[in-house]
Amino acid sequence: MKQTLPKTFLGRIRAALPELHPAERRLGEFLCDFPGELASYDAQELARLANVSKATVSRFVRRLDYASYDEARRHAREDQRSGSRLFLSHPGDTHPEASLLAAIEQSKANLDQTFTTIPQAEIDAMAKAMLGARKVWIVGFRASHPLADYLRWQLTQVIENVVAIPGGGETLGEHLASVSADDCVVVFGLRRRVAGMEALLDYLAASRAPLAYVTDEGLEPDRRARWHLRCHTASSGPLFNHVSVMALCHVLIARTIDLSASTGRARLRRIEAANDSLNEL
């Protein structure tokens, strides 16, 4: 019976490493650190980067049970689209000043590309929906979790009934059973998304609560969401750049405070009075 191959490109490399010849193992270890190089370069260029021969590259892809280098590269590109941080690393990215300048320029580009696709009317509509909701639910997992919690924390300035889920030790069902059409839901779905994201979006769509879906630029517009806000997260390094996501949170919060008018200002005054009374700050 033929052994089942690992699903991912990196999984195949890791499984094969112990059995590879020295030159092939050197190439495999190089690709474990920088798998994006196979996705980006042809066999000759990869051989030069890894300091092996082109023949070694050819033997290596056959040892991984690929019919050709192009098949291996297609598989690597599929993994690249999944959002693995390893695919964002490149050999030689070590000059600190150049790295800082590249990060700043990429952040600027991400901001420009994000906000050219999000009209003011969409921000206003979302802010009004949150202000008018019975309850605002904010959902985030993995890298999205602290972003969801940040949005919740800032929205508490003017919205009393807002919660970020799931908390530690909680299931989504314990919360989502209470979602109704009078609520508003914000879901952060940045790469790499959890396996249950599609089921979650289906559930929320069935609840008929207005849904805002905040993602990276890699997804096509999702019709289950009333507002699909796609933030550019391209990076010059091994981690996704979330500057545009934080900027979007800031814009949403500021506009929500603006539109809350006298009701929002009254809540802000009560919060300040409570802080003074408790001597917390």
Residue 205 is part of a domain; what is its CATH number? 3.40.50.10490
Same domain? For 83 and 218 the reply is: no
- DSSP 8-state secondary structure symbol assigned to residue 67: S
53 in a structural domain: yes
Residue 182: the pLDDT is 97
Domain shared by 120 and 231, yes or no: yes
- Residue 56: which CATH number? 1.10.10.10
Q: Is residue 93 part of a domain?
A: no
Answer whether 136's CB lies under 8 Å from 163's CB.
yes
* Measured distance CA(88)–CA(35) in Å, rounded: 9
Whether the Cβ atoms of residue 143 and residue 240 lie closer than 8 Å to each other: yes
Q: How far apart are CA 269 and CA 250, in angstroms?
A: 21
* Shared domain check, 140 and 76: no
Looking at the structure of the chain, the number of domains it has is 2
- Tokens for 34, please give them: 């920088």
Give 264 or 250, the one with higher predicted confidence. 250
Q: Are residues 81 and 120 in the same domain?
A: no
In a domain, 98, yes or no: no
Quick one: pLDDT band at residue 1, thresholds 50, 70, 90? Answer: very low
Check residue 46 and give its pLDDT. 86
**Same-domain check for residues 23 and 124:** no
Decide if pLDDT at 120 tops 80. yes
State phi, psi for 215 to the nearest 5 degrees: -135, 180
Domain membership of residue 213 (yes or no) is yes
Say yes or no: 190 and 236 in one domain. Answer: yes
Lowest-pLDDT range of 11-25, 120-134, 163-177, 192-206: 11-25
3-state secondary structure of 162: strand
Among 37, 55, 88, give the residue marking a domain's end.
88
Give the whole-number percent of the chain exceeding pLDDT 70. Answer: 89
**Domain annotation covers residue 266:** yes
Domain boundary among 88, 117, 134: 88
Q: What is the DSSP letter of 53?
A: -
Q: What is the mean pLDDT of residues 267-272?
A: 90
The pLDDT of residue 93: 53
User: Average pLDDT, stretch 130-143?
Assistant: 95
Give the pLDDT of residue 255: 96
Q: Are residues 83 and 201 in the same domain?
A: no
Residues of the domain holding 253: 104-278
Higher pLDDT, 33 or 216: 216
- Contact predicate 87/35, CB 8 Å: yes
pLDDT tens per residue across span 155-213: 999 999 999 999 888 999 999 999 999 999 999 999 878 889 999 999 999 999 999 99
Residues in the chain: 281
Q: Does 62 share its domain with 177?
A: no
Query: Same structural domain for residues 79 and 109?
Result: no
Let me know if residue 1 belongs to a domain: no
Assess whether 35 and 158 both reside in one domain: no
Q: pTM for the complete prediction?
A: 0.71
pLDDT tens sequence across 213-258: 999 988 889 999 999 999 999 877 777 899 999 999 999 999 999 9
Say whether both 189 and 220 belong to one domain: yes
Residue 96, in any domain of the structure: no
Co-location of 156 and 181 in the same domain? yes
Read off the tokens for 222. 């999702």
Closest Cα partner for 233 from 122, 114, 116, 140? 114
Place of tokens 């952060």: 188
Residue 70 in any domain: the answer is yes
Q: Is residue 133's pLDDT more than 90?
A: yes
Last residue of a domain, one of 88, 113, 146: 88
92/51 Cα distance (integer angstroms): 14
For 152-157, what is the mean pLDDT? 95
